[in-house]
Structures are given as structure tokens and as C-alpha cells.
Amino acid sequence: MTPAQQQLVDTVLERFGAKAVTTDAREIAPWESDWRGRYHGSAPALFSPGSTAEVAEIIRLAGELGVKIVPQGGNTGMVGGATPSEDGSALLLSTRRMNAIRSIDPVGNVAVVEAGVILANFHNAALEQGRRFPLTLGAKGSATIGGLVSTNAGGTQVLRFGNMRHLVAGLEAVLPDGSIYEGLTPLKKDNRGYDLTQLLIGAEGTIGIVTAATLQLHPAILERAAAWVGVASPEDALRMLRLMEARTNTIESFEIIPGEILRHVLDHIPGTRSPLAGEHAWHVLIESVATEAGAEPPAALLGQLLEPVFESGLAEDAVISSSEAQVEAFWHIRDSISEAERALGPAMQHDISVPVDKMPGFMVKAAEAAERRFPGVTATGFGHLGDGNVHFHVRAPAGVDRDSWYAGDGKAVSRFVYDMVVAEGGSISAEHGIGQMKRDELVRLSPPQRIAALKAIKMALDPRGILNPGKLVALAPEADNP
């Protein structure tokens, strides 16, 4: 620990007590690596402030002392954005103790939630008031509100409700100078200059630490149903979605799964079975919900919606859930894809987006191109077709050495995929962010003026480079490389 770090630790200990800071390596260790074990860092101390005021004071002091701070929520990120550098030059700050739901207003449909609140806990608290916070994702049992805001999280309900940005009605954050940005008041209209709330959403903790958010609530789900549909192509799947959307706004999820990936899940995940009897090249999982008493039951609605789909020849076969257990079983298949894929060996995973209407063609074309360019690999996309966002996985040829493939051909595969995405005007990070994983690819694939603008904003708001150094955009590559 540097003398400046030690001084900060001592001051925080003295002022905010032992709960607010630890230097015990065993306590810190779980938070020094990302949950997938891909990034490993070192932090000589971990702060756990108990309030926004404590965060502000820690950041103010850190700025004075020149101590770098890596903010961390549930540590469920996918791009190493919350993992400190290996050299111990930064200390961790966890929001875990800031876990109060300050208020839930079921009439005004807003809640004020602190950064450290775990998503599933917030779901439950809202549900107790008959309300629903619609954003959800696999890591809901660990992911925190602060991290979800800072990464502008997506998930499976984006089709209807948008990503985190669309659900944030206000923010409170500590800025790099230790001041508190007080923007929690939910104003539907507010044109007072550059929108700092929008700027902080998705900024990955590099220009402010989100300490609380005002979040939009929706009516609780009374009933839901899911359809599992076999289709011939992603094009047919998207046409099916357009047909359905023309008749209802209750479609919440529209996930595409290649037949090949379904087989892997059935092979590797105990207790799963195919929803349909026959084989299909592509499968689609569609969820519809009812939130009002007297509304059409979602299973019946899905049945009606599928009629013209079959008439148009867009679907080969379909089954509609007859119970909540069956809905869960459908989702269990979808949610087990990553686990099943892991069993098949090393793969490069790409969280990409292109315009929605281009995605069907892109998925097929990109997979063919990757398999042609890298003989032996298997490329497949699955996921949020309705958002133009799929997880595009390229599996290594059988028998390769895992580490050397990741370091060699695997990297080349990713560059190849990202080049195709950029050529379509797409995004190399649809929902996971940049962190440290994609920082250099972002530079490679962006016009230099765009990177210059990102750096200028970072330097303007965090001139001393205190917050989450080296993530998203590097100010000084030599010094900041985590």
C-alpha cells in the first residue's frame, strides 16, 4: 500500500469505522477477480461506505491524495469493468452497504433505490406493493442497482420496456470531485442543459459513482404465458414478431435459439426436454403477459397471435405453455445456453447489435463467414432478436489448447466478428459495456474523433483520473492499463 492509500484507509477507518474499510486480504480476494475468473486484479483495501455522504467524503479525500478508486456493485459484469488493476494502484469501493430501498410509490409508479440493492430484492419489494420493476437478467440474485445503471443493463425484457436508461427517472451520484449530483427528483420534462443523468448511465463508474436511482415501476404481472415456436430462418422469426406487434403491445420477450444450440442444452443440462417433437433449424421463445384484471389471458392471446403466423407459413410448429411451470421450463432452456456451451469447450462470445431488420441476415452471413475464415470453428448467434442484439458465439475447433486458442486464433476470431459488425453500422457492445475487455477494440474500431470526445469528457469530469482508471477509455495507456 502506498503512503497515500494508507492515509486514506486510516482516515476512513477513523471517521466511518471498521465497517467502512478493510485491508484483510481474505475479505478482499473475492472482489479482486471478476465472477467468470477472466480478470484478476489486486486492491490493498476495500471501502464499504454506508451512505452517499461517506462515498462523497472518500472520493473527495481520494482526489486530494491522488488515490485511484474502482467502484463495484455485485461484481457480475462481463467486461472486467469492476476489476482493479494488478499493480495494486487502485482501491476498491463496494456499494454493498448502501442497500436501502428509500421509497416505493405504487401510485406514482416510482421507487428510490440505493446503489447496493440487489436486483432480485428490489423485484420482491416492488411486488409486495403490486408493482413490477421489469428489467431482469440471469445475474439478478447478485447484480446491484448501481452496477445496472452504470452499465445501462439490458436483459430479456428490453423489447417492451427498453434497457436501464429507459427505466431511470432520476439519479444520485458522487462526482470525481467528491460533490454529490442530486438528480433523484423524477421530472418527466427537464431541459436544463447537458443531461448529466444520461451521461452517467452507462459510464461504467468512470466519471461518477451512482449512489441511488429513481426507477420507473410498472403494474405487476397477473399472468404470463410463453410460446415455443419452430421456424425455418431468423428472417421468418422477425416477420413473425412484426405480425404479432401489429396486433398487441404485450410481447415482452422474443428470443431466438438455433436448433443446434437447443440440442446442446438438451444434451448437457439435466432435466431439460424439447418443447417440440420435431427438429427445427431455429426456435423462438415468446413471452406475453397480462397486467390487468379482465385482460385476455396471455395463453389465449398467444394462440390468436399465432393464427396468422401459421397462415403466412412463418411457423413450422408451436406449443403454448399451459402452466407457469411450463413457462419456467421454456426459460430454463434459454437461460442454460451459456452453461451448455461451456461444456463444449472454449468459445469467443460476442455481445453485438445491428439494426433490428438487418439482424436475421447478419446472423446467418456472419456465421458462414467466420466458419469459412477459421476452419473448424462453429459460429452461432442466439438471444434478443427483437432488439437486434444477439450473443454471437464462435466455438474453437475440437481438441485445441484452451489458453493458446484464446490468446491466438480466438482473438483473431473476435476481431473478424467485430469488423463485420462495424461494417453493418452495429455495436461491438450491445449490453455488456466496454470495461477493460473491449477498450482497445473500441479504439481500433471507432473514428479517432469519437475516442477523442470520450477522452475529453473523462478528462473534463475526472481530471485527476481518480475513478475506475483504465476502464472504458484510457487517458494514458502506459499508466492506466489494468
- The answer to whether residues 282 and 257 touch, using CB atoms and an 8 Å cutoff, is yes
Is residue 62 near a copy of itself by the rule CB under 8 A? Answer: no
Length of the chain measured in residues: 482
CA distance 384 to 391: 8
Nearer to a copy of itself, 83 or 378 (CB): 83
For 157, the 3-state DSSP assignment is coil
Is residue 108 near a copy of itself by the rule CB under 8 A? Answer: yes
Region binding a copy of itself by CB under 8 A among candidate stretches 63-71, 115-123, 171-179, 362-370: 171-179
Q: Which residues contact 260 (CB under 8 A, 6 or more apart)?
A: 378, 380
For residue 271, the one-letter residue type is G
Q: Which of 32, 54, 316, 431 contacts a copy of itself by CB under 8 A?
A: 431
Q: Which residues contact 24 (CB under 8 A, 6 or more apart)?
A: none
Nearer to a copy of itself, 29 or 187 (CB): 187
**CA-based nearest residue to 83, from 135, 18, 19, 147:** 147
Is residue 349 near a copy of itself by the rule CB under 8 A? Answer: no
For residue 156, list its beta bridge partners: none
> Would you call 448 exposed, middle or buried from its count of C-beta atoms within 10 A (0-12, 13-18, 19+)?
exposed
Q: How far is the CB of 462 from a copy of itself (least distance, A)?
A: 10
Is residue 461 near a copy of itself by the rule CB under 8 A? Answer: yes
Is residue 253 near a copy of itself by the rule CB under 8 A? Answer: no
> How are strands ordered across the β-sheet holding 21-22?
21-22, 46-47, 90-94, 68-72
Is residue 447 near a copy of itself by the rule CB under 8 A? Answer: yes
Is residue 414 near a copy of itself by the rule CB under 8 A? Answer: no
Residues 217-246 that bind a copy of itself (CB under 8 A): 242, 246
Nearer to a copy of itself, 165 or 415 (CB): 165
Q: Which of 21, 318, 354, 413 contacts a copy of itself by CB under 8 A?
A: 354
**CA-based nearest residue to 67, from 107, 8, 139:** 8
Q: Which residue has the cell 491522488?
A: 66
- The answer to whether residues 418 and 445 touch, using CB atoms and an 8 Å cutoff, is yes
Is residue 304 near a copy of itself by the rule CB under 8 A? Answer: no
For residue 219, list its beta bridge partners: 131
Q: Which of 3, 18, 37, 189 contacts a copy of itself by CB under 8 A?
A: 189
Q: Which of 224, 384, 393, 395 contacts a copy of itself by CB under 8 A?
A: 384
Q: Which of 17, 130, 425, 477 contacts a copy of itself by CB under 8 A?
A: 425
Region binding a copy of itself by CB under 8 A among candidate stretches 35-43, 88-96, 176-184, 361-369: 176-184
Region binding a copy of itself by CB under 8 A among candidate stretches 157-165, 227-235, 265-273, 372-380: 157-165
Residues 387-406 that bind a copy of itself (CB under 8 A): 387-389
